[in-house]
Chain A
């Protein structure tokens, strides 16, 4: 029985191979998208999951009035360990994005992301150096490097003995010991490219040194909320003991953030990853639904054709279930074919997907859950796509279908059309969304951001230049190189980095504002416009001491109408305001420009290390070459290597997330409209085939070709219009919400709505007309002869 049904199913599919192909093709594309989304989701939710204590590790964080941070003081860890038996282990880490060159005679590497961890933290996170880890003795620190770095530094190394590497620069003459290599799990929240392991971290530092990440591992069944309260209480008492009655810490509370949330939605960071994951999952799901709808629709459209078979089989003694299973089997066969194809498609687009999302996924990982998920998906799409047609087809009454002139019911007619409308609605939402994203991105690319990053290079440097006097000779040497227009040094470049904040007072008004420490020629290098007053200048001796420049937002915040000459106080300093600059969007378009004070001298700021050089466009390459050649001479404290990045590229990275979104929407819009059109194509084919007799009769009665084309197109046309009407408000609300995430944005445009309507209507008419012409061109006699 099954074998026969299978045979019939295959014959049926072959007979309608055009439509079968469309069905399978559409579904496989959608499935490919869905599979990618699934492995992406599995990857994103799987950080540190291989850790056996995954569910029992928490990060300790501090919550202050307006911010949450994971920087905690070092004594806290030991205090937690000592007081709460339910805490099995505690670990401390400290990381920094401090670039340090390491070199041997064989090669040089630049570590960007060092991590200091105490021994128990490495145990907690299963960080295992390649030749094992001995607990460091006493105060000693063991340095481990990633395998790739070790390979560069010691290409001929065979043994597992420690080696010496040079630090910083040859002239500095410093060296350190590398114990060995370590595997850096890219799928872990703990990332580093240089690892210092010590017995303990932050010895002698008290509760004021909030520079460490603290992790705890609790026993099974621990009440986390309760523990959180207890640790908070402990923190408060310890704090009181240590820092007396400092008001600032009173309102600080402790919270615990589970390891499983750290990658996607940490309490102390952005949940952008989580949002991306959710939206991508929804997209994948919608695309799959659209493809399933094709199945349902086409199977119902086929109903008239299959009705006779149902009737005959029933009078031969088939139960309804048997027939339903038969139809489900047919759909299952197609779904299996689609799954196989989809794996091939997924494999093909995976490289592009990886580079878009900056991940490195593969479909068949050894521990891939895809192996059991795929059959499950197969089962579900077969059900979704097949259950309704199976119910409808198997429900036919033999007497009705065997009598002849059989019509599928009005009910399924409505369903079919509603499903088409849904498909097109989803497609319209994506097209509209894509167009609006495009407009906003175009706006961001063409808008004046208030500064010019072109031809400005950011030079990495490890020497400290907080005092303008120390930087001056360096500047002079750089300026001598032909092509260099201006040079400055600062402690933060306009690449979206958040600036430090501090309280400053003008007159009696205290406000929390951002601060940036710059050097002479900062505004000139970035071509930032002055509103009033003057920029910093070497001619004014006081500028290096206590002059300040504010941006427009800051003057607005203080409500200053006549700011020049006023005094602004902060960080135990009295600054005189000498100039006001126009706001510039150092943080991109999402955040409003922050009120900022620019000073040359600021005891509260980080040291100035980031050099920016503006270079003439025509002399770019030779200037870079000269800088490279003379760097050791120009800036001996930085070491032997001239390392730079183009500022416009760094700033461009701020657009990356939105460009990612744009690509996702582009793919989604193309896929949804493609699959919907595919379905429409096959559907229109069925409908016109079913109406061939009607068309023939109408032609004999004198209808013109155009009238018949109109007749066939009308119902589809109405459906697309309806789909547009439905999706406009949805698209409007969603895109409005998205635009709302930008501080600087376009007005909601009307054009995208009109364009997506035009695109869908045009595609529909073309698709339907392609089918209709065939029916119209056919000679009426041929259609009527066989009746």
Chain B
């Protein structure tokens, strides 16, 4: 599903290149559950953003589902977001002015899903994540864990084949974190959704089946688990 070759990323300041990523080469197949780990500032988020096409690498090749991403137009990229990629953020990033229901509905509207189909999908998700009672509340009326559930529900609404999550449990207590991780494993196992997450906790990494260790912008280790 994802093929990257010799990805490099640097920020130039005053003529000096500060490398964040160097020679990152890897491939991620459909159905994998990959955790990216490493010390702070190692470049994990940067790598994830490049995989999610939010940032561009300064050098290297990237193919997503057989398509060359570097030459992709903005429109095509947004099509990919609509149909294949769901994002989950550490800071949840729900839209404050929208209710839980509307937050989940938003991606479906962009995807132009019909009214009844939309309603049934949202009802499904609310049910599945046990937040039916909260559907008319605004994000600031929810706990962190609940917000993240909504964030995940929103990412799933468009039925993506890939979920990208940057420290999805970073702001949560361990009980809530476990719940989220359980959910990820289930999505991966039962629905075959590919998941790439950045995490600091070894425990969370164990839910997946592969760990990429990054340090100083270089992939140090690539291990299979479970």
Question: Hey, which chain A residues are within 8 Å of B81, CB to CB?
Answer: 314-317
CA–CA, A397 and B95, complex, Å: 16
Q: Mark A296-340, 1 if CB is under 8 A from B, else 0.
A: 000000000000110111111111101000000000000000000
Contact A402 B109 (CB under 8 A): no
Stretch at the interface among B32-40, B49-57, B123-131: B49-57
How far is it, in angstroms, between the C-alpha of A404 and the C-alpha of B89 when the chains are bound? 11
Interface string of B114-151 (1 = CB under 8 A from A): 00000000000000000000000000000000000000
Q: Are A319 and B97 in contact (CB under 8 A)?
A: no
Q: By the criterion of a CB under 8 Å from any partner CB, how many residues of chain A are at the interface?
A: 26
The answer to whether the Cβ of B22 comes within 8 Å of any Cβ in the partner chain is no
Task: State how many angstroms separate the Cβ of A34 from the closest Cβ of chain B.
Answer: 32
Contact count A vs B, C-beta below 8 Å: 68
Q: Which chain A residue lies CB-closest to B56?
A: A399
A315 partner residues in chain B, CB cutoff 8 A: 52, 54, 81, 85, 87
CA–CA, A311 and B83, complex, Å = 17
Known: A319-B78, A399-B54. A313 touches B91 (CB 8 A): no
- State whether the Cβ of A202 lies closer than 8 Å to any Cβ in chain B: no
Instruction: Please indicate the chain A residues that have their CB under 8 angstroms from the CB of B97 in the complex.
Output: 8, 11-12, 15, 309
- Asked whether A317 lies within 8 Å of B111 as measured between CB atoms, the reply is yes
Tell me which of A309, A317, A320 contacts B110 (CB under 8 A): A317
Nearest CB to that of B50 among chain A residues?
Answer: A399
Contact of B54 among A4, A11, A320, A398 (CB under 8 A): A398
In the assembled complex, the Cα of A12 lies from the Cα of B154 at a distance in Å of 21
B158 engages A309 (CB within 8 Å): no
Contact B54 A316, beta carbon cutoff 8 Å = no
Chain B, range 13-33, C-beta contacts under 8 Å to A: none
Known contacts A316-B110, A320-B74, A399-B54; decide if A309 and B95 are in contact (CB<8 Å): yes
User: Among residues 93 to 111 in chain B, which have CB atoms less than 8 Å away from a CB atom of chain A?
Assistant: 93-98, 102, 105-107, 109-111
0/1 interface trace, chain A 387-406, chain B, CB 8 Å (1 if under): 00000000001110011100
Q: How far does the Cβ of B167 sit from chain A's closest Cβ, in whole Å?
A: 12
Which residue of B is nearest A319, CB measured? Answer: B78
A4–B105 CA distance with the chains assembled, in angstroms: 10
B203 interface hit (Cβ, 8 Å): no
User: What is the chain A residue whose CB lies nearest that of B106?
Assistant: A316
Contacting pair A317 B98 (CB below 8 A): no
Given A4-B109, A318-B78, is A313 in contact with B54 using a C-beta cutoff of 8 Å?
Answer: no
With a cutoff of 8 Å between Cβ atoms, the chain B residues found around residue A319 in the complex are 75, 78
B82 within 8 A of A: yes
A167 to chain B, nearest CB (A): 79
Of all chain B residues, the one with the shortest Cβ separation from A305 is B96
Query: A314 vs B75: C-alpha distance in the bound complex, in angstroms?
Result: 11
* With A315-B54, A317-B82, A319-B78 as contacts: A308 and B158 at CB distance below 8 Å: no
Task: Give Cα distance in the complex from A317 to B109, angstroms.
Answer: 9
Task: Check if A358 is an interface residue, CB within 8 A of chain B.
Answer: no
Main secondary structure on A side of the interface with B: helix
Bound together, the chains give a CA A398 to CA B111 distance in angstroms of 18
The contact string, 1 if C-beta is below 8 Å from chain B, for chain A 1-25, is: 1001001100110010000000000
In the complex, chain A residues whose CB is within 8 Å of the CB of B95 = 8, 308-309, 312-313
Given A4-B102, A308-B93, A399-B55, the answer on whether A318 and B49 have CB atoms closer than 8 Å is no
The distance in angstroms between the C-alpha atoms of A318 and B77, with both chains bound, is 11
B187 CB → nearest A CB, Å: 18
Q: Is the CB of A313 within 8 A of B55?
A: no
Query: Hey, which chain B residues are within 8 Å of A316, CB to CB?
Result: 81-82, 87, 106-107, 110, 154, 158
Interface size class of B (residues with CB under 8 A): 20 to 34
Q: Bound state CA distance, A572 and B88, in angstroms?
A: 105
A320 and B85 alpha carbons, distance in the complex (Å): 18
B160 to A: closest C-beta gap in Å: 10
Tell me how far the C-beta of A451 lies from the nearest C-beta in chain B, rounded to whole angstroms.
72
* Chain B proximity of A273: nearest CB distance (Å): 51
For A397, what are the chain B residues with a Cβ–Cβ distance below 8 Å? 54
Q: Indicate whether A317 sits within 8 Å of B107 (C-beta atoms), given known contacts A308-B93, A311-B93.
A: yes
Looking across the interface, which residue of chain B has its beta carbon closest to that of A318?
Answer: B110
Docked CA distance A1–B98 (Å): 13
State A627–B165 Cα separation when bound (angstroms): 101
Once the chains bind, are A317 and B93 in contact (CB under 8 Å)?
no
- Chain B residues 147-181 with CB under 8 Å of chain A are 154, 158
Tell me the bound Cα distance from A11 to B96 in angstroms. 10
**Residues of A452-493 whose CB lies within 8 A of B:** none
**Cross-interface CB contact of B93 among A1, A11, A318, A402, cutoff 8 Å:** A402
Expressed in whole angstroms, the Cα–Cα distance for A134 and B107 within the complex equals: 78
A454 to chain B minimum Cβ distance, whole angstroms, is 68
B78 in contact with A314 (CB, 8 Å): yes
Q: What separation, in Å, do the CA atoms of A309 and B97 have in the docked complex? A: 9
Residues facing A in B40-63 (CB within 8 A) are 45, 49, 52, 54-55
Most-contacted residue by chain B among A309, A315, A317, A399 (CB, 10 A): A317
Rounded to whole Å, the gap between the CB of B85 and the closest CB of chain A is 8
Contact (Cβ within 8 A) A402 B89: yes
- Say how far B81's CB is from chain A's closest CB, in angstroms: 4
Give every chain A residue within 8 A of B55 (Cβ-Cβ). Answer: 399
Q: Which residues of A are interface residues toward B (Cβ below 8 A)?
A: 1, 4, 7-8, 11-12, 15, 308-309, 311-320, 322, 397-399, 402-404
11 extra interchain contacts, Cβ-Cβ under 8 A, other than A4-B102, A322-B110, A402-B93?
A4-B98, A4-B106, A15-B97, A309-B96, A315-B52, A315-B54, A315-B87, A317-B83, A320-B74, A399-B54, A402-B91
Name 17 interchain pairs, CB-CB below 8 A, sorted by A.
A11-B97, A12-B97, A15-B97, A308-B93, A309-B95, A311-B93, A312-B93, A315-B85, A316-B106, A316-B110, A316-B158, A317-B78, A317-B83, A317-B158, A398-B54, A399-B49, A402-B54
Chain A to chain B: the 3 pairs with minimum beta-carbon distance, closest first? A317-B82, A399-B54, A316-B107
